[in-house]
Structure 1
Amino acid sequence: MIDIEKHLSLFGGCYRSRRVMVTGHTGFKGSWLTLWLSRLGAQVIGYAMPPETEPNHWDLLRLNDCESIFADIRDVDRLKQVFTEHRPEIVFHLAAQPLVRRSYREPQETFSSNVIGTLNVMDAAKASESVRAIVCVTSDKVYENCESEAGYIESDRLGGSDPYSASKACAEILVNCYRKSYFNASQTEPQPFLATVRAGNVIGGGDWSEDRLIPDAVRAASSGTTLGIRNPASIRPWQHVLEPLAGYLAVGQRLLLADPTAATAWNFGPDEEGSVPVSEVVPHFQKTWPALVAEFAPEAGAPAETNVLRLDSSKAIDRLGWRPLWDWQTAVARTASWYQRFYESEEIATLSDLLDYEQQAIKAKVSWAAS
């Protein structure tokens, strides 16, 4: 176990006593990020819609020291009011409609949340006198997909054939527009440094979203039903939620240090061995939680899904000193164990997972955990 001072010194101690805004703090990644920022000593202001699922990770964490504001990211007047009242120094923008299959059913909702919502955050930050840095979270699905075995790099062409992917690619274009038109060194007044971050398939405890493999597996294992696997051959870059969050925080650190080279796009994915098919992930989940029963169940008329998706994170490894610490087997085992402990003993293992991850980072001497 690391002591408090060592804990607060992670990421150069840059989040200690810092006013940090997290949009989408009630979501899966947002709730993990809010916990981590709170442990790093930040004064966190959360802005999001109330959690959609029951149970949900946000309510389970009971982060009473976070200023939690329930509001729609598309309400620009309310958003600007919150920026004015709370004066955040850095913004992590995660609020979004994050589900691919739902985006087919609700394209207007998806585009308005993911594009107009992002536009509102940019405008609120532009009007703010306090914001110094913005980290905008998009997706690994922003790339024009050609089913390539090679990992996508940050300069690859953007695209998106489904509404979710297209909306996130639009958000990337929007952010780049604001970076070049408003948030640049040629302005007479100091402007925020702005980056986008793109992560692969993220797993971990506390996700009960619809139409995702691990939450579907959890629902099946906990209820004694059978998990139907739609696409067992689909290859995804599997990683624990703490991996990209460490990258997001490392980017935020560099932006707060006014490093212009960090104000760009960043990939955060597992190493090459971490991109594996669904048919390998499910049996590994079952090793930890044998209650899961699964079978191949193709879905007639299902919306199209990408077969192969890989990210190249060389840029983050080379320039940020970030690197993945838990392989995909560890990520799956940790995730299955989190849910098994929750359903069998009502134990929330989020903090213990976080502390174990930090301890491994210190031992591995990754840059964000260095003294």
Structure 2
Amino acid sequence: MEGVVVRLFGDRYRGRRVLLTGHTGFKGSWLAAWLTRLGADVTCLALDPEGSPNHWDLLACPVRDLRVDIRDSAAVRAAFDQAQPEMVFHLAAQALVRRSYRDPLENWSSNVMGTAHVLDACRQTSSVRAVVVATTDKVYANREWSWGYREVDALGGHDPYSASKAACELLVDSYRKSFWQCDDAPLLATARAGNVIGGGDWSADRLIPDLVRAVTQETALHIRSPGSTRPWQHVLECLSGYLLLGQRLLEGERALAEAWNFGPQPEANRSVADVLAKLQRFWPQLDWQVSSEEHAHEAGLLYLDCAKSRSRLNWCPVLSLDQALEMTADWYRSHHASGQVITFDQVANYIESARAANAVWVS
């Protein structure tokens, strides 16, 4: 890329005041890193990271780092008053299915009331022009059918996590219709991503972090549902969708203020067993076995139909599943060997891959 001037997302984030919630989490930490590379003036608010190591502390991003519980409406409002953001990305959430069974009230209060506090702070902050709320592919009423869910399909949720995220979608739609219908109102959209993988995730009860912990401890991972099928994608793939959507909202495209799926190519819809077999090619030390223990209900089959984001946003995934898994394995192997992170290097490499693929957000 030497000598080539690359503009990302129309340079729409350079110098822009951006507020990001959930930056101490997996996906939020990667988005914070990318926003700083884009030249944004970033204020972040979240709880302290859980456990050590954690991706956020390793990154040392140059942002305003506010430790705020989104369930505290006064603290959220004070953070907005301080930051006066133009663009808001809301990623803070209780993000784990099995944890939602153990503590459903924490789940509902974080995911629904926390989101309501963020949206109401947006409503009362005149500088806000655009808002992207991240939900999940699990917002759909899962029929276990073999085709992808579209944005117009019914919402639902068996477990507390999925149901709370479906409720978030209704909450966002209510705020959009109740408060933001005039021509100069902020534009509000939701983003539903598939199963996100990548380096820096140490969450409990997630496939790859559990596998990495097992490798570190030189034990075999006990997996729950080897036949469960998900739309696997690298974290940078869905974040490129979030950033593209945010760009277009900042540019005033009111028709885009609605729900969007961001998922991988159809061939990346693979079972847990398939993903583990592929990942082992890049990290031979990985080992696992099927657990015989009973576990709480989780969907067995889940696909996303992303035709809408492809046709109306011109957004497309850049990486194959093999490339996403190789990047993930490289990140963890590098950290395991050196204690350092290669996050910014991987962002740069991903941008170069997107440029070679003529991604719409690279020019």
The answer to whether the superposition gives a TM-score over 0.5 is: yes
Question: Whole-Å Cα distance in 1 between the matches of residues 246 and 71 of structure 2?
Answer: 24
Letter in 2 for 1:61: L
Backbone CA RMSD of aligned residues: 1.1
Quote the residue 1:93 is aligned against: 90
Question: Whole-Å Cα distance in 1 between the matches of residues 312 and 346 of structure 2?
Answer: 27
Question: Whole-Å Cα distance in 2 between the matches of residues 227 and 81 of structure 1?
Answer: 44
Question: Whole-Å Cα distance in 1 between the matches of residues 3 and 199 of structure 2?
Answer: 25
Quote the residue 2:338 is aligned against: 345
Counterpart among 283, 298, 308 of residue 301 in structure 2? 308
Q: Normalising by the residue count of structure 2, what TM-score does the alignment of the two structures yield? A: 0.98
Question: Does the aligned pair in 2 maintain the 1:46–1:69 contact within 8 Å?
Answer: yes
Quote the residue 2:139 is aligned against: 142
Moved more, 285-294 or 305-314: 285-294
Question: Whole-Å Cα distance in 1 between the matches of residues 279 and 51 of structure 2?
Answer: 22
Say yes or no: does 1:29 pair with 2:27: yes
Quote the residue 2:314 is aligned against: 321
Identity %: 51
Quote the residue 2:47 is aligned against: 49
Moved over 4 A (4+): 2-5
Q: CA deviation at 1:298?
A: 2.8
Question: Does the aligned pair in 1 maintain the 2:141–2:157 contact within 8 Å?
Answer: yes
Letter in 1 for 2:78: Q
Moved more, 342-351 or 234-243: 342-351
Quote the residue 1:71 is aligned against: 68
Letter in 2 for 1:18: R
Question: Whole-Å Cα distance in 2 between the matches of residues 176 and 240 of structure 1?
Answer: 28
Say yes or no: does 1:246 pair with 2:249: no
Q: CA deviation at 1:37?
A: 0.4
Question: Whole-Å Cα distance in 2 between the matches of residues 353 and 230 of structure 1?
Answer: 30
Q: Normalising by the residue count of structure 1, what TM-score does the alignment of the two structures yield? A: 0.96
Moved more, 326-335 or 144-153: 326-335
Question: Whole-Å Cα distance in 1 between the matches of residues 265 and 191 of structure 2?
Answer: 17
Q: CA deviation at 1:78?
A: 1.1
Tell me the SS of whatever aligns to 1:266. Answer: strand
> Structure 1 residues 232, 22: CA separation in 2 closer, same or farther (over 3 Å shift)?
same
Quote the residue 1:230 is aligned against: 224
Question: Does the aligned pair in 2 maintain the 1:2–1:359 contact within 8 Å?
Answer: no
Question: Whole-Å Cα distance in 2 between the matches of residues 73 and 4 of structure 1?
Answer: 41
Q: What does 1:325-336 correspond to in 2, within 5 Å?
A: 325-336=318-329
Q: CA deviation at 1:336?
A: 1.1
Q: CA deviation at 1:5?
A: 5.0
Q: CA deviation at 1:345?
A: 2.1
> Structure 1 residues 21, 367: CA separation in 2 closer, same or farther (over 3 Å shift)?
same
Question: Can you list the C-alpha shifts for 1:207-265, whole angstroms capped at 9, x where unaligned?
Answer: 00000000001001111011111111000000000000000000000110110111000
Letter in 1 for 2:341: I
Count of residue pairs the alignment pairs up: 363
Q: CA deviation at 1:98?
A: 0.1
> Structure 1 residues 147, 3: CA separation in 2 closer, same or farther (over 3 Å shift)?
farther
Question: Whole-Å Cα distance in 2 between the matches of residues 198 and 36 of structure 1?
Answer: 19
> Structure 1 residues 3, 260: CA separation in 2 closer, same or farther (over 3 Å shift)?
farther
Question: Can you list the C-alpha shifts for 1:11-57, whole angstroms capped at 9, x where unaligned?
Answer: 00000000000000110000000000000000100000010121000
Tell me the SS of whatever aligns to 1:311. Answer: coil
Quote the residue 1:207 is aligned against: 201
Tell me the SS of whatever aligns to 2:361. Answer: helix
